[in-house]
C-alpha cells in the first residue's frame, strides 16, 4: 500500500484527539478539494489551554504521529449548524466554517520528526 504524502499540521492536543477518534471533524477557515488519506503532524507549539482542558501533560510536538482519511468537507453556514456537531469537532466557531470529516485514524510508529507548514503540505522521505 502506498503511504500518504499529504500532511496537515495540527496543534496538540487536537492531533492526539483525532488519533484517539474523539475528534472526528477538523475545523478550518479554508476549504479543500483534497480527499483521501493524509499524515497528521503535531505542531511544535501546543494549545496550552486545550492541553489542560483535555487532561494532557505532554504529547509529541514537531512530529508526524499518525494518519487519517478525509472523506468530505462540511460547510457550516450558521452557529446552530456548527453547535449541532460540537461533540464531533470540539471547537468554537471562530476556528472557521469548514469541517473536514475524518475517519479511520491510525498512529504511526516510529513517529517522524518534521517541520510543519500551513495548509496541506507534501512530505518527502529522505
Q: What is the pLDDT of residues 63-116, one digit of tens each?
A: 999 999 999 999 999 999 999 999 999 999 999 999 999 999 999 999 999 999
Structural domain boundaries enclosing 60:
6-105
Tell whether 25 is covered by a domain. Answer: yes
Residue 73 inside a domain? The answer is yes
Q: Would you tell me how many other CB atoms lie within 10 Å of the CB of residue 116?
A: 19
Total domain count for the chain?
1
Q: Is residue 126 part of a domain?
A: no
φ and ψ at residue 92, rounded to 5 degrees = -120, 155
18: CATH: 2.30.130.30
* Prediction pTM value: 0.93
Domain membership of residue 121 (yes or no) is no
Task: Identify the sign of the CA torsion 63, 65, 71, 72.
Answer: negative
Band of residue 1 on the pLDDT scale cut at 50, 70, 90: very low
pLDDT digits (tens, 9 = 90+) for 3-30: 568 999 999 999 999 999 999 999 999 9
The strand pair at 36-42 and 6-10 is best described as: parallel
Amino acid at each position: 500500500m502506498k503511504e500518504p504524502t499529504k500532511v496537515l499540521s495540527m496543534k496538540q492536543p487536537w492531533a492526539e484527539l483525532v488519533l484517539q477518534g474523539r475528534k472526528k471533524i477538523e475545523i478550518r477557515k479554508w476549504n479543500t478539494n483534497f480527499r483521501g488519506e493524509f499524515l497528521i503532524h503535531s505542531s511544535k507549539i501546543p494549545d496550552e489551554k486545550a492541553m489542560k482542558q483535555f487532561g494532557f501533560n505532554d504529547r509529541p510536538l514537531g512530529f508526524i504521529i499518525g494518519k487519517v482519511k478525509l472523506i468530505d468537507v462540511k460547510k457550516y453556514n450558521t452557529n446552530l449548524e456548527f453547535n449541532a456537531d460540537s461533540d464531533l469537532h470540539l471547537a468554537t466557531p471562530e476556528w472557521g466554517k469548514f469541517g473536514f470529516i475524518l475517519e479511520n485514524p491510525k498512529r504511526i510508529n516510529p513517529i517522524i520528526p518534521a517541520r510543519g507548514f500551513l495548509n496541506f503540505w507534501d512530505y518527502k522521505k529522505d
